[in-house]
Structure 1
Amino acid sequence: MPSSVGETGGGVPRVSPLVVYARGIVRKGVVAGVRRLVLGGVLLCGAAGAATPYRVQAGDTLLGIALRAGVSVSAIRAVNPALRASSTVQLGRVIQIPDRSAPATTHTVTAGQNLTVIARKYGLTLTQLVRANPKYASGRPVPAGARLSIPARQVPVYLTTGRDTVAPAAARPAARSTRVVTTPAATARSASPRSSAAWLWPVTGYTTVSSGFGGRTLEGEGEQHYGIDIVAPVGTPVRAARAGRVLESRPDYQRGWGWTVVIEHPDGWITRYAHLSANLTKQGEWVVRGQPIGRVGDTGRSTGPHLHFGTYLRWNPRDPMSLYR
């Protein structure tokens, strides 16, 4: 089988009850490529004390940071040895913010919601949500009024700094084993996309799609891939496919996206740009069609430099290639 550069964030395995997740490697104490085994949403093995980096801003205090993050001061000190004997934080210093524990709960589905929207709301992968609610594993629609089980989980804490963000060097993985990805069509192909008045191709000059939209096999397991992977060198500018408001501009290692930008467009369309090496826009900012919003990278649950480009209509996944024909 041909090997391929491809993205695995957001994939939904259809068969195996045991799924291996890769933890974001910017987290303190986590070795690049370390994996967690998750069965029914329960951590079986992996790294303890996962944390997310935060650069201290003017006016920050240790207590203030803890209150904003929803964790205790002692928890922050536990993952920052240099702070154990100090009650002050130095301006500009990067400290680690530990994950916050979120208890199991239930969610009542409202009109217009689907599993993708609900998983995103609670910081879960689609796989984790489906595994906690196996009656929907076959892809059956979730009716309004249904009650879903939301498993206990560790939630990364991202404190905004108001600055453009760049993935730390540690988030750019060294060489790793290549994963085998196969799709019903050829795994790697030239897309030959045509930008239209509505949609701009997000990576100018690069048209090879290593993994398409829909069903594929990754390391022997079937899954759904809600987007396309466009192969391009690290650092290549990524441009907004359409004008819109930035919903997210942050690292999302919990769900495998790495550094990601999500844009909401006026007519209900939403686009995701994932595995970036740099984010060039802020949450809440209005961006125009063709504006650079990031740079191609290899962060998150990725097997090599590429852009994951996802398109959604009211959060229902759609094949991006259908918009460029």
Structure 2
Amino acid sequence: MTQTRHDIEPGRRRALGLLLAAAAAVAAGCGTTGGPVPDGYYRVERGDTLYSIARKHHRSVRELTRWNSDITSPGQIEVGQLVRVRPPGGSAPASTGTGQAVTDTPRADSGSSRPPASGIRLQWPADGRVTGGYAPPASKGLRIAVPANGTVRAAAAGRAIHVGNLRGYGMLVIVKHNDDWLTVYGNLDQPLVTEGASVAAGQEVGRMGASASELHFEVRGNGKPVDPMAYLPSRG
């Protein structure tokens, strides 16, 4: 079967993870290459390794990889990258110094972690049939076949923290709903919102192409992809 740009390769998934981290940092008032580092993060410097960062902050490498969706192996860090060194939404016991945290529980699966304690209610972002489901690590969202010139709507109110192109996702809009949740809308033909704009639930955020195409839709809680079907209403 011919691979389409919706069949996201590991490198492309990592690119989205880096973009999400950067967008979140900008939303918090900083970038990945300069400015103040937000509380709970560390900016990678030349010569750093994930092990040295973990040791400096009394954490384990396993904790850092669990808290940072863009890091899938210890060697995947870059100078200027923001690394979360404190768990999302709270604190956790420090590592014993042996590489194992005192209360370090395993991840539920290799594709995502448990969603935040806060919930979110979403509406369908587009009309059309679901042609691809959530199946990590290969697919971290839904593919929805949208009619020609169809519009894409915000699944909930929030703020557009990124509008632009990303390889493998085409034109991409990311909407941050609160500190825990964001949604991703990929493969758009044209964005209908600007970066930084407030977005209402159901507001049109993008338009698809002149021929029928597929929307890539992701839901992320604490930066980790979750199954969108668990937060969308059932269709009659």
CA distance in 2, matches of 1:234, 1:308: 15
Residue number in structure 2 paired with 1:318: 226
For residue 321 of structure 1, give the secondary structure of its aligned residue in structure 2: helix
CA distance in 1, matches of 2:169, 2:47: 23
- Computed over aligned residues only, the root mean square deviation of the Cα atoms, in angstroms, reads 3.6
Residue number in structure 2 paired with 1:36: none
For residue 123 of structure 2, give the secondary structure of its aligned residue in structure 1: coil
CA distance in 1, matches of 2:220, 2:156: 13
Residues 251 and 5 (structure 1), Cα distance of their counterparts in 2 relative to 1, 3 Å cut: closer
Map 1:229-308 to 2 at 5 A. Answer: 229-253=143-167, 256-266=168-178, 268-297=180-209, 305-308=213-216
Q: Offset at 1:117?
A: 4.3
Q: Offset at 1:202?
A: 0.6
CA distance in 2, matches of 1:262, 1:226: 15
The 8 Å contact of residues 157 and 177 in structure 2, kept in 1 or not, is answered as yes
CA distance in 2, matches of 1:234, 1:200: 21
* Cα deviation 1:272-312 (Å, max 9, x = unaligned): 000110011112111000111011249xxxxx811000001
For residue 138 of structure 2, give the secondary structure of its aligned residue in structure 1: strand
Residue number in structure 1 paired with 2:28: none
Q: Offset at 1:150?
A: 2.9
The 8 Å contact of residues 209 and 231 in structure 1, kept in 2 or not, is answered as yes
Residue number in structure 1 paired with 2:7: 8
CA distance in 2, matches of 1:104, 1:209: 45
Q: Offset at 1:198?
A: 2.7
The 8 Å contact of residues 5 and 231 in structure 1, kept in 2 or not, is answered as no
Which range moves more in the overlay, 238-247 or 263-272? 263-272
Structure with the larger RCO, 1 or 2 (CA within 8 Å, 6+ apart): 1
Residues 297 and 115 (structure 1), Cα distance of their counterparts in 2 relative to 1, 3 Å cut: farther
Q: Of Structure 1 and Structure 2, which has the larger fraction of its residues in strand?
A: 1
Residue number in structure 2 paired with 1:225: 139
Quick check: 1:213 aligned with 2:134? yes
Q: Which amino acid aligns with 1:260?
A: L
For residue 225 of structure 1, give the secondary structure of its aligned residue in structure 2: coil
TM-score normalised to the size of structure 1? 0.40
The 8 Å contact of residues 262 and 271 in structure 1, kept in 2 or not, is answered as yes
- Which structure 2 segments of 5+ residues have no match? 13-32, 34-45, 80-119
Residues 282 and 104 (structure 1), Cα distance of their counterparts in 2 relative to 1, 3 Å cut: farther
The 8 Å contact of residues 5 and 169 in structure 2, kept in 1 or not, is answered as no
Map 1:1-325 to 2 at 5 A. Answer: 7-9=6-8, 11-12=9-10, 106-107=49-50, 108=53, 114=65, 117=68, 119=70, 130=72, 133=73, 148-150=75-77, 198-204=121-127, 206=128, 208-215=129-136, 223-253=137-167, 256-266=168-178, 268-297=180-209, 305-324=213-232, 325=234
Aligned length: 152
Residues 323 and 113 (structure 1), Cα distance of their counterparts in 2 relative to 1, 3 Å cut: farther
The 8 Å contact of residues 104 and 151 in structure 1, kept in 2 or not, is answered as no
Q: Which amino acid aligns with 1:309?
A: F
